[in-house]
Amino acid sequence: MGRQKFADRPSALDSVGAVRHNWRTVTTNTFAAEGQALPPALDAGAPYTSRLSARSALYSDLQVLLDAQRVTREASFRSLVVDENRLVRKSIAARKKAWQELKTRYILQPEHPLFAAFLSEWNRCRSEPERGLTAYVLLALNDRLVADLGIRWLFPRLRRAPAEVRIADIRGFIDGATALHPEVAAWSDQTRAAVAQKYAASIRDFGLARGKVNKVTTRPALYGAPVRLLVRVLRLVGISPTEMIQARVFRLLALDGQDVVDALGELNRTNALSFRMQGDVVELEVETRP
């Protein structure tokens, strides 16, 4: 793959970083061009889902599949789960259920623009913490509720880490979302409680919190892969570099405002990407320079 260089044209973002449905002011939207829906985190009309109510993020299962696929490149992810039973489930029905749960969370289709961007960055990760954050970004981009929780609820707690992770607070966020997301009103109390509990467990699995019973947040270190993944996907939906550095979706990584510029500058210094900002001109490349 050649270097991916981003031209600078304006785009429209709402207050949480979701893209408005007006493509006259943006560069090419790859998702639309390929007949794919926008990533839910960047789609202002995307609904909340309760998929976390049954199981958490299943990050350890994702790791098993990605490691297996790296060795056996010919096998599809579905084949690894259902046919080869790499996740060691007791029955065919359990294997198929595991596949459905993982597919809805992580896509697992190499031809899908979002997953392809993720896979490219996953393979560039150099440590387990970097992998965890990169997988978290994929999950959040593919789940509007996880994204909004990360941008609105978790972000301030990451900034003042260690901050207590209270299930009741997460539940309060979910309960308060019914005005903008009426689908939540149809969820039972049990479902809402389960989503809150599984979300707390999931952010711990990704390295954003620690503790088994009483959890506290952990502010993430700066790594290239999760930042580059956000940059890649924002560009795929047509966001210009100038507005990209203002996108609130970077709050998933505890970055906002000037912190985004500073982070890109630091990653440029370490050759994790190429970034230059001069006045209103922003140049940004995600491929490593030779």
- Looking at 108, 135, 151, the residue that finishes a domain is 108
What are the distances in angstroms from CA 71 to CA 27, 35, 74, 76, 102? Answer: 37, 30, 9, 12, 20
| Token pair 């709050």: residue | 251
Distance set, CA 274 to CA 4, 282, 286 (Å): 10, 11, 6
Whole-number pLDDT of residue 42: 96
Kindly state whether residue 207 falls inside one of the protein's structural domains.
no
Helix residue spans in the chain (DSSP H): 30-33, 59-71, 77-78, 92-106, 113-122, 128-141, 144-148, 155-159, 167-175, 189-205, 224-236, 241-244, 258-269
pLDDT given at position 275: 97
Backbone angles phi, psi at 270, to 5 degrees: -90, 10
Residue 266 placed within a domain: yes
Q: Please indicate, yes or no, if residue 260 is contained in any of the structural domains.
A: yes
Is position 245 within any domain?
A: yes
Q: Among 73, 93, 108, which residue terminates a domain?
A: 108
What's the predicted TM-score (pTM) here?
A: 0.90
Tokens of residue 280, six digits = 């209103």
Is residue 256, in this structure, part of any structural domain at all? Answer: yes
pLDDT of residue 37: 82
Domain, as residue range, for 234: 224-285
Q: Which residues contact 120 (CB under 8 A, 6 or more apart)?
A: 1, 232
Compute the distance between CA of residue 52 and CA of residue 50 in angstroms, rounded to an integer: 5
In the chain, the number of structural domains is 2
Asked if the structure places residue 138 within a domain, the reply is no
Instruction: Output the pLDDT for position 34.
Output: 67
Helix H or strand E segment including 285: strand 281-285
- Is position 123 within any domain? no
What residues of the chain score a pLDDT lower than 50?
A: 1-16, 19-26
Among 63, 92, 108, identify where a domain stops: 108
Q: Between β-strands 164-165 and 215-217, what pairing exists: parallel, antiparallel or unpaired?
A: antiparallel
Question: Left, alpha or beta for 127 (phi > 0: left; psi -120 to 50: alpha)?
Answer: beta
User: Is 85 among the domain residues?
Assistant: yes
